C-alpha cells in the first residue's frame, strides 16, 4: 500500500514539475492551441521555427517582434512523443531513414518574403526531420536565410552543412548559435535528485 502511494505521489510530482518547467503534456496541449502562422502578410520577413522544449520558440517569437516579421511554427501532422527518450528514438530513426514527416497547418509560400529566419534545435547533430520537410521542394531563389540554431551542448553539428545542401540557392547568412538547457542532462539530474529525496 505504501509503495502505491509513493508511486502516485511521484507521478503527481513529475506532472507538476513538467508543467512548471514547460515539459511534457502541458506544453504540448498549449502549443496545439496556438496558431501556426501569425502576421498580416505585409512583412518582408518570415520567422519559421521548430521547438520542442520552448527554448527555440522564445528566440523565434522575440525575433518576430523585433523585426516586425510574420511568424510560422513548423509542426508535424503526427505529434512527437511527449516522453523525451521516445522522442529521441523517433528522431534518430527519421534521420537514419531520411524520412520527411508530413507537416500540419498551412505552410506559407515564400514568394512575398525577401528574408527568412529559420530557427531550430539540433537533433542528433543535424537538422531535424520536420525542418527538412519544411525546406523540401522550396525554391529559396536568392532570398536571405538567417539560421538560428539551439543545441544542448554539442554545438551545431552538421546542421549548417546540411542547410547549404538543402537550399543551395539561398543566401545563407552568419548563424546565431546558442547553447540552451539540455533536456537529457536535466532529466538525469532530476532522476538523481528524486532518488535521493523520494526513495522508493
* Domain boundaries, position 160: 36-180
CATH of the domain at 43: 3.40.50.360
Does the pTM surpass 0.85? The reply is no
- The model's confidence at residue 188, banded by pLDDT at 50, 70 and 90, is confident
Number of domains in the chain: 1
3-state secondary structure of 24: coil
Q: How far apart are CA 164 and CA 187, in angstroms?
A: 33
- The model's confidence at residue 88, banded by pLDDT at 50, 70 and 90, is very high
The answer to whether residue 174 is domain-embedded is yes
The answer to whether residue 17 is domain-embedded is no
The answer to whether residue 31 is domain-embedded is no
- The model's confidence at residue 26, banded by pLDDT at 50, 70 and 90, is very low
User: Going by C-beta distance under 8 Å and a sequence separation of 6 or more, which residues neighbour residue 81?
Assistant: 87, 90
Q: How far apart are CA 124 and CA 21, in angstroms?
A: 23
3-state secondary structure of 146: strand
The answer to whether residue 18 is domain-embedded is no
Judged by average pLDDT, the poorest of 65-69, 127-131, 155-159 is 65-69
The answer to whether residue 1 is domain-embedded is no
- The model's confidence at residue 182, banded by pLDDT at 50, 70 and 90, is confident
The answer to whether residue 92 is domain-embedded is yes
Residue 5 has what pLDDT?
A: 40
The answer to whether residue 13 is domain-embedded is no
pLDDT surpasses 90 at 70: yes
Amino acid at each position: 500500500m505504501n509503495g502505491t502511494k509513493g508511486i502516485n505521489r511521484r507521478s503527481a510530482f513529475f506532472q507538476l514539475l513538467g508543467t512548471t518547467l514547460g515539459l511534457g503534456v502541458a506544453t504540448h496541449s498549449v502549443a496545439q492551441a496556438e496558431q501556426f502562422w501569425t502576421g498580416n502578410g505585409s512583412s518582408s520577413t518570415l520567422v519559421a521555427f521548430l521547438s520542442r522544449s520552448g527554448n527555440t520558440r522564445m528566440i523565434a517569437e522575440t525575433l518576430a517582434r523585433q523585426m516586425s516579421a510574420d511568424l510560422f511554427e513548423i509542426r508535424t501532422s503526427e505529434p512527437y512523443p511527449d516522453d523525451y527518450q521516445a522522442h529521441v528514438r523517433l528522431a534518430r530513426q527519421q534521420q537514419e531513414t531520411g524520412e520527411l514527416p508530413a507537416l500540419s497547418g498551412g505552410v506559407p509560400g515564400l514568394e512575398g518574403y525577401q528574408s527568412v529566419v529559420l530557427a531550430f534545435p539540433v537533433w542528433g547533430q543535424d537538422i531535424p526531420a520536420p525542418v527538412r520537410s519544411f525546406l523540401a521542394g522550396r525554391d529559396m531563389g536568392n532570398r536571405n536565410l538567417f539560421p538560428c540554431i539551439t543545441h544542448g551542448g554539442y554545438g551545431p553539428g552538421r546542421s549548417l552543412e546540411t542547410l547549404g545542401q538543402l537550399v543551395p540557392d539561398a543566401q545563407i547568412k552568419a548563424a546565431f548559435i546558442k547553447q540552451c538547457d539540455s533536456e537529457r542532462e536535466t532529466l538525469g539530474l532530476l532522476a538523481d535528485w528524486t532518488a535521493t529525496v523520494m526513495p522508493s
